Each structure stands twice: as C-alpha cells, then as structure tokens.
C-alpha cells in the first residue's frame, strides 16, 4: 500500500519547468504523456482494468463480481497543469484515488458495484484554451468539431495532438456509453485558497463552484519600427492593451463578488524593437451570477473599444469558454458529510471536471487543506498528514457509497 505522498514523490520529477518554476504539464506533451503512463502502471499494479476511452479519458476499473459497469462509482481528477503550476492541482486527486483503493482493499471491502479511477485530459485548458475539455467532450458540452479545431500556441490542432497521443480524433465527442457507466463522481482536490486554514480542518466537502469564463481580446494596430516611428504617428496596440488591463481590474473591483484576470498577453510579432501589429490578451471572469458576468464582460468590451479607438486601434472580443455556477448534488453532499462526521462545507472559485459532470450526473468534491493558500503556482502545498487524511476520507466516502 502506497501513501499519497509516496505516489506523488514518484512523479515529482515529471514536467518540472526550469524557466517558470514548478510544473508545466500541458495535455499530451511528453510530461503529461509520462503521467498518463504512470497512471496506467499504477492502475495495472493494483489489478485495475486499464482503458482509454474515445475522448482520451483514462480509466482504471475495479469491477464488481457481477452487474457490469452501468451506474458505477467513479473518482479521479487530472494530471495536466497550468504553466508553472504546483504539484498537487490534479495529481493529488489521482494519487488519493489509488491510495483510497488500497485502503478499501486493506479493509476487505468487496464492492457491489464497480469502482473506477479516472483521469480527464486538458482540465486546465492551458494548451488548447478550453478548460475541462475531456469532460466537456464526454458530456457533449463542447461540439466535437469545435474541439478538434482548437489550436495550441504552435498552431497544432487538438485533433492533431490527440492523434499523436494515440487517440483517433474522428471519435471525439459525447459518449453516452461511457456516461452510463458513471453513477456518481467524487473528485478530491487540493484546496486552492485559504478556506480550510481558516476553518482549521484538513478536509471539506465541496458546496459550489463559482461561474467562470474565458474571452480573448485581440487589439489590432499598425506594426512598425521602434526607432523611426514618431510617438505621435503610432497606432500601438500595446498601449491600448495596457489601458484595457487596467479597465478590467477597475470594472471587476466595482462589481461585488466579481473576479477578473488577465494572466496571458501576447504581442504579435513580439520583438523588442518592433511596435506590435496586434496584442492578444486573455480575460478570465468569475461571478456567482452568470448574468452579472455577461454584463461585466459587455462593459469591459465597451471600455476596450474606447481604449483601442483612442490609440487608433481596433479590438475584437471572442468567448472561448463559459461555465455557469454549479451547486453540487445536495443528497450526495449530505452523504459525504455523514461519512466524514463534522467535515465543513466549502465553496470554491476554481473550475473542475466535477463541475462539468454535475450537469448530467450526481457529483461531489472533497477539498484538502493547502497551508500556503496559494495555487496555480509552485507554492501550492499539502502536508503529508493532510494528504493521508484526505485519502482516508475519500476511502470512507467511497466505502459508504459502494
């Protein structure tokens, strides 16, 4: 039997990013493929039947004696990361799922319905732009053609990257056969804020996921020479982009409960002595009320148009993904809280595959304390004792649900 920490230690060298710090494990990059192989080996080592479905979701099945896989209990998470991310966002849920299987076996549990550990591809959307791409494909929340045509920073399509990873892109899309196998889904995840520090608890049961979406703003101007173009003669989209970033911060501050972020900005062509011809910036907006998010994005668009026009530039806005606020299944929440006597309820501002699956089947989440309160950063952390407490909590929950 492996502890969660031992499992995480075994992948601690995979995808380290010497430039950014932390881990860069983009979906279907060599780092993420190594982790997918690790998952297969850990599944097989436990005698779980390993499978890859047509959307690239990995499965390790602990089949019950009879009754097939319809309505099974599924747990798991993802192994891809944001650029320069931490070691726990995703892998903690997968390692804890294996540890929970070990604990259940030690307890002599014989499941009377099948139990599976799953890994969803491109949860972060850090390579192809759309988060939770695997679960969106599985549930039909994204059109298969739209997914196939997504491109990464090098212009490679998701279809091409899938094919290179051994997944036939022709078969991507809503998968009712696989959906029927999932009766309930429970995802364990590192907490990505300070909620559990403040509650002085190692484990919480998830209550809600904040609505969130991504938009791309493309600001176009006149590419030109940094030395020969007089300041008065410029249509520099970088200046407009700078004004837009500030306008976004101010607009979000003026809206109670809103969060808006520009974490990625790309000048084209991107040279020190080149006035950019275009600047793309990606906007992440979150609010509990989807109508407020829509109004806030519209306001930001209007301010971006003004800022662009003032600099002799133009701007276009494209929505790349959107996910409404999710409340996890109340009955499942109650079951989890009964299993984990006294575990607090906790909302999250982060997105998860459990949130996408919540649209079509009962899902729940467990959050594990992060003593730094920091995530999407190398500083994300989980103490060994808390990781063990999390695996035990997951085993308790799975045992009761089985």
Q: Is 235 in the site for ligand GLV (CB under 6 A)?
A: no
Cα 175 from Cα 171, distance rounded (Å) = 9
Q: Which positions from 107 through 166 interact with ligand GLV, judged by CB under 6 A?
A: 124, 131
Rounded to the nearest whole angstrom, what is the least distance from the CB of residue 96 to ligand GLV in the complex? 17
Burial code of 137-156, b = ≥16 C-beta within 10 A, e = fewer?
A: bbbebbebeebbebebeeee
Numbers of helices and strands, H then E, in the chain? 13, 15
Torsion over CA of 84, 88, 90 and 92, rounded to 10 degrees? 160
Rounded to the nearest whole angstrom, what is the least distance from the CB of residue 88 to Mn ion in the complex? 9
Cα 168 from Cα 184, distance rounded (Å) = 27
In degrees, to the nearest 5, what angle opens at C-alpha 294 toward C-alphas 289 and 298?
145
Cα 212 from Cα 294, distance rounded (Å) = 10
Q: Is 56 in the site for ligand GLV (CB under 6 A)?
A: no
Q: Quick one: which of 32, 53, 80, 89 contacts Mn ion (CB under 5 A)?
A: 89
x/- map, 343-382, ligand GLV, by CB under 6 A: -------xx-------------------------------
Please say whether the beta carbons of 323 and 173 come within 8 A: no
Q: Of 76 and 221, which has the nearer Cβ to Mn ion? A: 76
Q: Of 89 and 175, which has the nearer Cβ to ligand GLV? A: 89
Cα 51 from Cα 353, distance rounded (Å) = 19
What are the Cα distances from residue 53, in Å, to 60, 142, 174, 178, 181? 11, 17, 11, 8, 12
Q: Of 35 and 398, which has the nearer Cβ to ligand GLV? A: 35
Q: Of 111 and 351, which has the nearer Cβ to Mn ion? A: 351
Q: Is 191 in the site for ligand GLV (CB under 6 A)?
A: no
Q: Which residues contact 256 (CB under 8 A, 6 or more apart)?
A: none
Q: Of 280 and 353, which has the nearer Cβ to Mn ion? A: 353
Q: Of 244 and 356, which has the nearer Cβ to Mn ion? A: 356
Say how many residues touch Mn ion, by CB under 5 A.
2
Contact partner, 117, from Mn ion, ligand GLV, none, Cβ < 5-8 Å per class: none
Contact partner, 223, from Mn ion, ligand GLV, none, Cβ < 5-8 Å per class: none
Rounded to the nearest whole angstrom, what is the least distance from the CB of residue 85 to ligand GLV in the complex? 9
Rounded to the nearest whole angstrom, what is the least distance from the CB of residue 351 to ligand GLV in the complex? 4
60, two tokens: 């390790």
Indicate the helix (H) or strand (E) that contains 394.
helix 384-401
Which one of 64-72, 86-94, 208-216, 290-298 is the stretch in contact with Mn ion (CB under 5 A)?
A: 86-94
Which one of 8-16, 81-89, 163-171, 205-213 is the stretch in contact with Mn ion (CB under 5 A)?
A: 81-89
Residues that bind Mn ion (CB under 5 A): 89-90
Binding residues vs ligand GLV (CB under 6 A) = 124, 131, 350-351
């Amino acid at each position: 039997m492996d502890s969660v920490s031992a499992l995480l230690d075994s992948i601690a060298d995979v995808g380290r990013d010497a430039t950014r710090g932390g881990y860069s494990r983009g979906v279907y990059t060599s780092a993420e493929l190594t982790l997918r192989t690790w998952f297969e080996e850990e599944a097989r080592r436990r005698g779980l039947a390993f499978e890859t479905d047509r959307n690239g979701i990995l499965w390790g099945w602990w089949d019950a004696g009879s009754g097939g896989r319809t309505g099974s209990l599924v747990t798991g998470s993802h192994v891809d990361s944001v650029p320069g991310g931490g070691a726990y966002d995703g892998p903690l849920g997968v390692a804890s799922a294996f540890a929970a299987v070990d604990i259940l076996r030690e307890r002599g549990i014989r499941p009377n319905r099948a139990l599976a550990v799953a890994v969803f591809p491109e949860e972060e959307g850090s390579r192809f732009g759309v988060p939770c791409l695997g679960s969106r494909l599985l549930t039909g929340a994204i059109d298969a053609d739209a997914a196939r045509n997504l491109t990464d920073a090098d212009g490679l399509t998701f279809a091409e990257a899938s094919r290179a990873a051994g997944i036939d892109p022709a078969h991507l899309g809503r998968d009712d056969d696989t959906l029927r196998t999932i009766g309930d889904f429970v995802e364990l995840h590192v907490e990505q804020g300070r909620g559990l520090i403040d509650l002085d608890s190692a484990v919480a049961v998830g209550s809600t996921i904040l609505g969130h979406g991504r938009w791309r703003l493309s600001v176009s101007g006149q590419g030109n020479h940094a030395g020969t173009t007089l300041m008065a003669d410029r249509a520099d989209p970088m200046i407009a982009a700078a004004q837009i970033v500030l306008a976004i911060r101010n607009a979000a501050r003026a809206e109670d409960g809103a969060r808006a972020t520009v974490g990625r900005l790309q000048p084209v062509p991107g040279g020190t002595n080149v006035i950019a011809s275009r600047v793309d910036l990606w906007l992440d907006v979150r609010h509990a009320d989807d109508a407020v998010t829509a109004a806030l994005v519209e306001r930001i668009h209007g301010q971006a148009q003004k800022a662009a026009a003032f600099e002799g530039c133009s701007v276009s806005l494209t929505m790349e993904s959107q996910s409404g606020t999710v409340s996890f299944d109340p009955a499942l929440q109650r079951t989890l809280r009964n299993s984990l006597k006294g575990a607090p309820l906790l909302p999250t501002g982060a997105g998860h595959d459990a949130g996408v699956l919540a649209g079509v089947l009962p899902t729940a989440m467990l959050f594990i304390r992060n003593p730094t309160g920091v995530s999407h950063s190398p500083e994300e952390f989980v103490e060994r004792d808390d990781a063990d407490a999390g695996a035990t909590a997951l085993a308790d929950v799975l045992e009761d649900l089985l």
